[in-house]
Structure 1
Amino acid sequence: MSWYEEWFWSDAYTRVYDHRDDAEAEQLVDLIEHEIAPASGAHILDIGCGRGRHARALVRRGWQVTGLDLSEDAVAAARSRVADDDLDVRASFRVGDMRTPVCDGCADGVVNLFTSFGYFDADAENERALAAMATALRPGGWFLQDFLNAPQVAESLGASVYETEDGRTIHQDRWIEDGRVNKKITVRQNGHTETFQESVRLYTRSDLTAMYERVGLEVVALFGDYDGGNYVPDESPRLLLHAVRPT
């Protein structure tokens, strides 16, 4: 089993990233609304949608959303949450591999958020995933990818992080090797220990823009945070790329 299948399927994942919440999702969707301004009722694909926190925020703004994720548990959770919020009329979710196009030209916009990219060992497979996202866009459609800012990660990555709360201890060993940022995550609670891996290809801005060009996407703007701040290579916490599929 690949690391991302084991890790994203686990309850431990939600505990480690519980600070990535609905408020943060709304902040990122504010950026989409203000900077991209999709038309009312636009169809947006959320690739690597996880449990649907961004999808729910998108639907609340009046857009139609289709979410795709490899995790059956995550998709089930996303479906349940939009139903609980009475948002399921405008949202649907499916299980699938991001390397396979959802459709050909059916989407007004595609989002790929919270570093849901760079998981595969081979660059060709990561590019295949990006090509599938581009294929799903109609001509003139837009794309937003939220990724790590490689220079800032390389500068600031600490070797170890410890967190203790409510009897739960999370220990993360973190390092960069062979162009990937890696984590070994150990969760201890109630005398039980679980260990997981995380490994993401540390693509730079130039790596990604070259890849975009090869799959037929044109970058039109860069942002360095969820507030729409300018991208500063050594300082910005994130790298957000806004691109379009030319007509």
Structure 2
Amino acid sequence: MSEIENTPNDNQQPITQSWFTSWFDSPYYHILYKERNYREAQLFMDTLTHYLNLPEKAKVLDLACGKGRHSIYLNQLGFDVLGADLSENSIAEASKNNNATLHFEVHDMREPFDKKYDAIFNLFTSFGYFENEADNLTTLKAIKESLTEYGFAVIDFMNVNQVIDTLVPEETKTVDAIVFHIKRYLKDGHIYKEIDFEDNGQQFHFTEKVRALTLADFQQMMDEAGIYLLDIFGDYKLKKFHKTDSERLILIFK
């Protein structure tokens, strides 16, 4: 359920990939989510960088950057930005926008970086994907190790309580003439999204699987990682977090 297996030839052993390795590297991922509200995301970046009072030309890491749209905007705000993502296809596309203060690289978020950053952003629920629970803690430790002494990190995660309460079990969405059939459910502490569709006569199936991490879960991991949680917000305007009805869980720490 959580993994996608590639079919080997006679001389190969089966290759098993994590679901996020296959799905995020697929062009269909970007097709399905092409209508995301990027203006809202830019306003969030404006609000967040203002709140953090980042210095001019601060070094910012956009961790799990995808094709780099938000890295590009952060760079336009005047920051020296590195966008990092596990998807080689996404980084290849993002790298077309490279300049003197904007770069992209393929990187596993479980590994710390060689350089230190004034701010590290992990945005739009790009956390909690790993099959091994310990990898979530490993990622937090890597973020901590990659911050400067006075740097800030931000994790923008879903508010699990609100998501579960409003979960839409089944949905059909048509994008670029492709009909995506989507099923959502909670199982074994994870929120699943099953995605089925047909394109050019071929059937496709992908699975998204995200750990249903609550504020208490993050607090426990952060305590273990030696991270100091500074603030908790519930939406992109940085309003107070409410357990039952906030849209987001935004954690600011150092």
Q: TM over 0.5: same fold?
A: yes
The 1:188–1:24 alpha-carbon spacing in structure 2 relative to 1, beyond 3 Å, is farther
Letter in 2 for 1:62: G
Structure 1 residue 179 corresponds to structure 2 residue 189: yes
Residues 76-95 of structure 1 mapped to structure 2, 5 A cutoff: 76-80=92-96, 82-83=97-98, 88-95=99-106
1:89 partner SS: coil
* Corresponding residue for residue 114 of structure 2: 103
Question: Which of residues 49, 73, 79 is equivalent to 2:65?
Answer: 49
* Corresponding residue for residue 154 of structure 1: 164
Over the residues paired in the alignment, what is the CA RMSD in angstroms? 1.4
State the number of aligned residues. 238
**Does the 8 Å CA contact 2:179/2:197 hold for their aligned counterparts?**
yes
User: For the residues of structure 1 that align with 2:157 and 2:133, how far apart are their CA atoms?
Assistant: 16
* Corresponding residue for residue 12 of structure 1: 28
User: For the residues of structure 2 that align with 1:232 and 1:193, how far apart are their CA atoms?
Assistant: 41
Structure 1 residue 210 corresponds to structure 2 residue 226: no
**Does the 8 Å CA contact 1:224/1:237 hold for their aligned counterparts?**
yes
* Corresponding residue for residue 2 of structure 1: 18
* Corresponding residue for residue 195 of structure 1: 205
Which of the pair has more CA radius of gyration?
2
User: For the residues of structure 2 that align with 1:166 and 1:61, how far apart are their CA atoms?
Assistant: 32
Return the structure number with greater helix share. 1
**Does the 8 Å CA contact 1:21/1:53 hold for their aligned counterparts?**
no
* Corresponding residue for residue 249 of structure 2: 239
**Does the 8 Å CA contact 2:19/2:207 hold for their aligned counterparts?**
yes
Question: How far does the alpha carbon of each residue in 1:88-138 deviate from its partner, in whole angstroms, 9 at most, with x for none?
Answer: 22111111211110136x111111111111011122111101110110001
Question: How far does the alpha carbon of each residue in 1:121-171 deviate from its partner, in whole angstroms, 9 at most, with x for none?
Answer: 122111101110110001121011100111011111121111124532111
Larger displacement relative to structure 2 (121-130 or 13-22): 13-22
2:243 partner SS: coil
What 5-or-longer segments of structure 2 have no aligned partner?
A: 1-16
* Corresponding residue for residue 137 of structure 1: 147
**Does the 8 Å CA contact 1:3/1:197 hold for their aligned counterparts?**
yes
Measured after TM superposition, the shift of residue 178 of structure 1 is 0.7
Measured after TM superposition, the shift of residue 21 of structure 1 is 4.5
TM-score (norm 2): 0.89
Letter in 1 for 2:103: S
* Corresponding residue for residue 38 of structure 1: 54
Structure 1 residue 120 corresponds to structure 2 residue 130: yes
2:218 partner SS: helix
Letter in 1 for 2:226: G
Question: How far does the alpha carbon of each residue in 1:168-199 deviate from its partner, in whole angstroms, 9 at most, with x for none?
Answer: 21111111111100111112345443211100
User: For the residues of structure 1 that align with 2:37 and 2:83, how far apart are their CA atoms?
Assistant: 18
**Does the 8 Å CA contact 1:179/1:201 hold for their aligned counterparts?**
yes
User: For the residues of structure 2 that align with 1:215 and 1:203, how far apart are their CA atoms?
Assistant: 16
User: For the residues of structure 2 that align with 1:164 and 1:158, how far apart are their CA atoms?
Assistant: 16
* Corresponding residue for residue 14 of structure 2: none
TM-score (norm 1): 0.92
Letter in 1 for 2:77: R
Structure 1 residue 58 corresponds to structure 2 residue 69: no
User: For the residues of structure 2 that align with 1:77 and 1:196, how far apart are their CA atoms?
Assistant: 22
The 1:186–1:134 alpha-carbon spacing in structure 2 relative to 1, beyond 3 Å, is same
Measured after TM superposition, the shift of residue 77 of structure 1 is 1.1
What 5-or-longer segments of structure 1 have no aligned partner?
A: none
